[in-house]
Amino acid sequence: MRFVIALILLVLTGCDKESQAEGQAQPASPVKSDKSGQSDILLESADGSRATLSYKNAGQKAPTASFTDADRQDVTLADFAGKPLLLNIWATWCAPCKAEMPTLDALVKREKDRMNVIVVSQDLEGSAPVLAFFKETGVKNLVPYTDADNAILAAFNNAIALPTSILYNSEGKEIWRISGGVEWDGAEVAQLLRAAD
């Protein structure tokens, strides 16, 4: 019972500024089911950090909300159509968000020919904190997309926690989403990403 309560609190509270998502995410047993019988799957890192994999929104089209690219031009997720897309929604004030950036940066380099990987910051200050964080941590492959107006969050009815990563197929339809930070360089995650092929 305590585990279920702790998991619900984790999902509801979103970003836990104290935990660091180090170690490899490992699939665990399903933890809750929705009305359609789809189960959320707990992903647990070696250090005990947890994230939730969900298929509840599979098949939904990507939102049309706009955000800003590195040149301060408006873009939407539709601009990435034609290849699978991994969208990561994060912020520089969120510890689990920051912890997964190095492996997301490496993922961009590994998968650039097969899929798009983008990270959209929800920092209200725009690109300044994102650029500073990328410079400080040596992130070189990720483009600093920003959403200072939180239009992406609004498109999801403000019902997602940070970090959240959503995998879309080449037609812009959701395959799965992960709430919480994970390591993006392991075999288990690589297998999850292949679902977009």
pLDDT digits (tens, 9 = 90+) for 72-97: 999 999 999 999 999 999 999 999 99
| Of 34-38, 125-129, 160-164, 166-170, the least confident | 34-38
Distance between CA atoms of residues 159 and 152, nearest Å:
11
The model's pTM is 0.81
The CATH number of the domain where 41 resides is what? Answer: 3.40.30.10
Planar angle of CA 67, 56, 83, nearest 5 degrees? 50
Q: What is the 3-state secondary structure (H, E, C) of the chain?
A: CHHHHHHHHHHHHCCCCCCCCCCCCEEEEEEEECCCCCEEEEEECCCCCEEEEECCCCCCECCCCCEECCCCCEECHHHHCCCCEEEEEECCCCHHHHHHHHHHHHHHHHHCCCCEEEEEECCCCCHHHHHHHHHHHCCCCCCEEECCCCHHHHHCCCCCCCCEEEEECCCCEEEEEEECCCCCCCHHHHHHHHHHC
- The pLDDT score that the predictor gives to residue 18 is 38
Please check the confidence at residue 20 and state whether its pLDDT lies above 50: no
Give the residue numbers spanning the domain of 94: 1-197
Number of domains in the chain: 1
Task: Give the C-alpha separation, 142 to 105, whole Å.
Answer: 6
Span 130-138, average pLDDT? 97
Write down the pLDDT at residue 46. 67
| Closest listed residue to residue 148, CA positions, set 128, 167, 125 | 125
- Cα gap 167→190, rounded to integer Å: 12
